C-alpha cells in the first residue's frame, strides 16, 4: 500500500509515478533539488562576499587570521555567514514545500508562495505554446523547466521548475494531447507517447557564426568606431577613444547572444505543431500548436544580402513584446536561413498560401519592388515622402493571408493570416492627405512583428480597410477549432449566418478623414467604432 504525503492545505500529493491527478484534491511537487538549481547564484554571491576579506588578506601577505584571538572578527563573520546560509536554505526549502501543481483534463494549476499565496492556472485549450527549458546547471542534474504560454499573459502563465527531463517531456506530451482533444484512456491517463516528429531544418555552426558577424551588430560597430575616430581627430584629443571599450563590450554581448541562441538550432513538424530546439549552454525546446502563430515577420539586414540570408520572427499570444534576449529568442522561428529555408518554414506556418504562384508572390515580398506579382506599392506621386523605400512599400492579398512589404536597407515582409486580424486602423495626416496616401495598421497579438501598410493610395487603403474585415470574419468561420485534433461535425450550411456583404460593411457613418478603425466582434461581423 502506498502512502500519500499531505500538502499544507491538507490535500494529498500524488505519488511520483503519476503525472496526472485522478481527483481534484491530488497535487504534485517539483523536484526536491529545484531550490538549489534556482538559487545557486545567491549561494555564490554569499561565498564571494564572505571570502573577499580573507582573499585580500592572503594577497596582502597578512596570512590567515588567528582564530584564537578572542577580539578578532573572524568567528563572528563565520557565524553570521552560517546564519545567512541557513536562512537562505530554509527559504528555498519552504518555497519548494509550498509549491505544488496539478494537471487535470481541463487545466494546469500551480499554487505557490509562503506568506503571500499565489494560485495560477491555464486552460489546456488556451495553451499557445509549451517550452522545455534546461539551464546549464539543470542539465547537469538532468532537470528541466516547463513553461506554458497562454493568451493575454504578460509572462508565462504557468512555470514548473524543475522536473526530471523525462517527466517534463511526458507532461508536455500529455498536456498537448489533452489540448488537442485526443481521447485519453481514463484507466491509464499517463500512457501517452510523445507525438512523432520530422526534422525539416538544422543550422550548421559555421552559418550561425557567420550570420552573427554579418549582422546589424557589425554595422553598429563600424559606425560607432568611425564616429569615435572622427571626434578624436576633430577635437585633437584621445578622450573619445575611451568609448571604444564599452562599445566593444556591447558588441561582444550582441555577438554572444546571436551565437548562443542560434547554436544547435533544429526545426521539426509534428501533429502537436512546430517544434524548435536551440541553445548552447542553456537549451530550449519550444512547441507551438497549429494555428497559434498570429503573424510572421521576415527580415534581411544589409550585410545578409551578400549571402541571401533571412531571419523569421513570430507573434504568439503570451510571448509579449519584451526586449530581453530570452524573449527575442523565443519569438524567433528561424535565426538565419536561405530563401529556400524561409519558404520551407513558412509552409509549416501557412500550409495553404492561398495563391497558385506562391514562390513568385513570396519572393516578390522578400526581394521585389514596385507593383509586381500581385503587390500594390506606393504611388509615384508620393515618392517624396519616402524617396528610398517607396518602391519597396506594398501589400498583396491571397486567399489565406495578407502580405505586407517594407524597408529599403532592412527589408521586411509581414505575413498575417486573415483569421488572425483582430482590428484595423487607418492613419492619414496632413502630408499624407496632400499626396492622397494613407497607412493601414493591422492589430494582432503583441510581438516583434508590427504589420503596417505604408503610404498606400487612399482609395485603395479604404477599400482594403473594408474588405479585410470581411475576409477576417469569413476566415475565422473556416479556421481550425481550439482542440485541433478533435473531430468536428459539419454544421448545416443553411443554418449558418451569411457573411456580411461589401455594401453592408461600407455603411459606416461619420468616418474620420485622419484615422479610422474597424474592429471585428466575436461573431466575426465588422463593427463601426468611431475614434
- 136 vs 3: which has the higher pLDDT: 136
Q: What mean pLDDT is predicted for residues 116-142?
A: 83
For 16-157, list the strands marked E by DSSP.
Answer: 100-103, 107-112, 118-123, 127-134, 143-150
**What is the pLDDT at residue 340?**
93
Can you tell me the distance from the alpha carbon of 340 to that of 312, in angstroms, rounded to the nearest whole number? Answer: 13
Can you tell me the distance from the alpha carbon of 419 to that of 430, in angstroms, rounded to the nearest whole number? Answer: 32
- 166 vs 23: which has the higher pLDDT: 166
**What is the pLDDT at residue 190?**
60
Phi-psi region of 142 (alpha: psi -120 to 50; beta: other; left: phi over 0): left
Residue 251 host element (H or E): helix 244-262
Question: Is the predicted pLDDT of residue 148 greater than 60, yes or no?
Answer: yes
Residue 238 host element (H or E): none
What does the mean pLDDT of the chain come to? Answer: 78
Q: What mean pLDDT is predicted for residues 432-436?
A: 93
Contact 288, 295 (CB under 8 A): no
Q: Domain ranges for the chain, please list them.
A: 204-262, 292-481+500-517
- Exposed (0-12), middle (13-18) or buried (19+): which is 340, by Cβ within 10 Å? exposed
- 233 vs 75: which has the higher pLDDT: 233
Can you tell me the distance from the alpha carbon of 524 to that of 469, in angstroms, rounded to the nearest whole number? Answer: 8
Q: To the nearest whole percent, how much of the chain has pLDDT over 70?
A: 73
> pLDDT tens, 75-103?
676 777 777 778 877 887 888 888 888 88
**What is the pLDDT at residue 10?**
52
**What is the pLDDT at residue 504?**
40
Among 29-38, 107-116, 469-478, 516-525, which stretch is predicted with the lowest mean pLDDT?
516-525
Grid coordinates in use for 393? Answer: 512599400
Q: What mean pLDDT is predicted for residues 491-503?
A: 39
For 38-156, list the strands marked E by DSSP.
Answer: 100-103, 107-112, 118-123, 127-134, 143-150
For residue 22, give every residue at least 6 positions away whose Cβ sits within 8 Å of its Cβ, in sequence order, or none. Answer: 14, 189
For 151-279, list the strands marked E by DSSP.
Answer: 158-164, 198-202, 266-270, 273-278
> pLDDT tens, 405-423?
999 999 999 999 999 998 8
Question: Is the predicted pLDDT of residue 491 greater than 60, yes or no?
Answer: no
Q: What mean pLDDT is predicted for residues 37-46?
A: 69
Q: What mean pLDDT is predicted for residues 468-485?
A: 78
**What is the pLDDT at residue 243?**
81
Among 2-6, 90-94, 253-257, 424-428, which stretch is predicted with the lowest mean pLDDT?
2-6
Q: How far is residue 289 CA from its own chain's centroid?
A: 13
Q: What mean pLDDT is predicted for residues 44-61?
A: 62
Question: Is the predicted pLDDT of residue 522 greater than 70, yes or no?
Answer: no
**What is the pLDDT at residue 375?**
94
Nearest to 170 by CA among 198, 193, 145: 193
Q: What mean pLDDT is predicted for residues 38-61?
A: 64
Q: To the nearest whole percent, how much of the chain has pLDDT over 90?
A: 29
- The sheet with strand 100-103 has its strands ordered as 100-103, 107-112, 118-123
Number of Cβ within 10 Å of residue 497's Cβ equals 9
Contact 19, 174 (CB under 8 A): yes
**What is the pLDDT at residue 208?**
94
Residue 511 pLDDT class (50, 70, 90 cuts): very low
**What is the pLDDT at residue 63?**
54
Among 63-77, 193-207, 253-267, 281-295, which stretch is predicted with the lowest mean pLDDT?
63-77
Backbone angles phi, psi at 516, to 5 degrees: -145, 160
What b/e readout covers 137-155, taking b as 16+ CB neighbours within 10 angstroms?
bbbebebbbbbbbbbebee
* SS3 call for 147: strand
Can you tell me the distance from the alpha carbon of 410 to that of 439, in angstroms, rounded to the nearest whole number? Answer: 19
Contact 414, 397 (CB under 8 A): no
Contact 33, 141 (CB under 8 A): yes
Look at the block and give the residue holding cell 502512502: 3
- 101 vs 51: which has the higher pLDDT: 101
Q: How far is residue 185 CA from its own chain's centroid?
A: 33
Question: Is the predicted pLDDT of residue 454 greater than 90, yes or no?
Answer: yes
Torsion of CA 85, 89, 91, 97, to 10 degrees: -170
Q: What mean pLDDT is predicted for residues 43-70?
A: 59
**What is the pLDDT at residue 487?**
55
Question: Is the predicted pLDDT of residue 244 greater than 80, yes or no?
Answer: yes
Grid coordinates in use for 390? Answer: 517607396
Backbone angles phi, psi at 141, to 5 degrees: -90, 5
CA-angle at 115, arms to 111 and 119, nearest 5°: 20
Number of Cβ within 10 Å of residue 527's Cβ equals 12
Cis peptide before 162 (omega within 30 of 0): yes
**What is the pLDDT at residue 54?**
60
| Listed ranges 80-94, 136-150, 207-221; the one with the highest mean pLDDT | 207-221
Can you tell me the distance from the alpha carbon of 319 to that of 294, in angstroms, rounded to the nearest whole number? Answer: 11
Question: Is the predicted pLDDT of residue 166 greater than 80, yes or no?
Answer: yes
| Listed ranges 74-88, 146-160, 465-479; the one with the highest mean pLDDT | 465-479
**What is the pLDDT at residue 525?**
42
Amino acid at each position: 500500500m502506498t502512502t500519500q504525503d499531505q500538502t499544507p492545505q491538507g490535500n494529498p500529493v500524488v505519488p511520483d509515478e503519476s503525472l496526472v491527478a485522478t481527483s481534484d484534491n491530488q497535487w504534485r511537487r517539483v523536484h526536491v533539488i529545484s531550490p538549489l538549481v534556482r538559487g545557486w547564484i545567491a549561494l555564490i554571491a554569499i561565498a564571494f562576499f564572505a571570502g573577499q576579506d580573507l582573499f585580500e588578506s592572503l594577497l596582502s601577505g597578512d596570512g590567515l587570521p588567528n582564530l584564537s584571538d578572542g577580539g578578532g572578527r573572524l568567528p563572528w563573520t563565520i557565524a553570521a555567514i552560517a546564519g545567512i546560509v541557513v536562512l537562505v536554505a530554509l527559504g528555498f526549502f519552504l518555497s519548494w514545500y509550498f509549491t505544488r501543481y496539478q494537471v487535470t483534463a481541463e487545466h494546469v494549476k500551480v499554487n505557490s508562495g509562503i506568506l503571500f499565496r499565489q494560485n495560477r492556472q491555464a486552460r489546456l485549450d488556451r495553451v499557445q505554446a509549451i517550452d522545455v527549458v534546461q539551464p546549464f546547471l539543470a542539465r547537469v542534474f538532468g532537470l528541466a523547466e516547463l513553461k506554458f504560454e497562454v493568451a493575454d499573459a504578460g509572462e508565462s502563465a504557468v512555470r514548473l521548475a524543475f522536473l526530471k527531463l523525462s517527466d517534463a517531456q511526458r507532461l508536455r506530451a500529455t498536456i498537448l494531447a489533452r489540448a488537442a482533444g485526443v481521447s485519453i484512456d481514463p484507466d491509464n491517463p499517463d500512457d501517452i507517447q510523445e507525438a512523432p516528429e520530422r526534422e525539416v531544418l538544422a543550422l550548421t555552426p559555421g552559418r550561425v557564426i557567420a550570420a552573427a558577424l554579418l549582422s546589424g551588430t557589425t554595422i553598429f560597430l563600424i559606425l560607432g568606431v568611425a564616429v569615435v575616430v572622427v571626434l578624436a581627430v576633430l577635437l585633437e584629443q584621445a578622450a573619445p577613444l575611451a568609448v571604444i571599450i564599452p562599445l566593444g563590450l556591447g558588441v561582444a554581448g550582441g555577438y554572444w547572444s546571436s551565437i548562443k541562441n542560434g547554436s544547435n538550432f533544429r526545426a521539426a513538424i509534428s501533429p502537436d505543431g512546430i517544434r524548435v530546439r536551440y541553445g548552447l549552454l542553456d537549451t530550449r525546446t519550444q512547441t507551438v500548436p497549429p494555428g497559434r502563430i498570429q503573424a510572421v515577420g521576415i527580415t534581411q539586414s544589409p550585410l545578409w544580402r551578400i549571402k541571401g540570408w533571412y531571419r523569421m520572427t513570430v507573434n504568439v499570444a503570451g510571448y509579449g513584446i519584451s526586449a530581453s534576449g530570452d524573449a527575442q529568442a523565443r519569438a524567433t522561428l528561424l535565426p538565419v536561413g536561405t530563401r529556400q529555408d524561409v519558404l520551407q518554414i513558412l509552409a509549416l506556418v501557412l500550409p495553404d498560401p492561398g495563391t497558385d504562384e506562391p514562390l513568385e508572390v513570396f519572393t516578390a515580398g522578400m526581394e521585389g519592388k514596385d507593383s509586381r506579382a500581385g503587390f500594390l506599392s506606393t504611388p509615384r506621386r508620393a515618392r517624396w515622402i519616402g524617396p528610398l523605400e517607396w518602391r519597396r512599400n506594398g501589400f498583396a492579398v491571397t486567399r489565406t493571408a495578407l502580405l505586407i512589404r517594407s524597408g529599403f536597407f532592412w527589408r521586411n515582409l509581414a505575413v498575417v493570416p486573415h483569421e488572425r486580424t483582430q482590428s484595423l486602423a487607418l492613419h492619414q495626416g496632413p502630408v499624407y492627405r496632400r499626396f492622397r496616401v494613407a497607412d493601414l495598421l493591422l492589430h494582432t497579438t503583441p510581438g516583434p512583428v508590427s504589420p503596417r501598410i505604408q503610404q498606400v493610395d487612399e482609395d485603395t487603403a479604404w477599400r482594403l480597410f473594408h474588405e479585410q474585415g470581411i475576409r477576417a470574419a469569413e476566415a475565422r468561420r473556416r479556421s481550425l477549432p481550439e482542440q485541433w485534433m478533435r473531430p468536428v461535425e459539419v454544421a448545416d450550411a443553411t443554418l449558418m449566418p451569411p457573411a456580411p456583404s461589401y455594401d453592408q460593411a461600407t455603411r459606416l457613418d461619420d468616418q474620420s478623414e485622419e484615422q479610422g478603425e474597424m474592429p471585428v466582434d466575436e461573431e466575426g461581423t465588422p463593427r463601426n467604432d468611431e475614434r
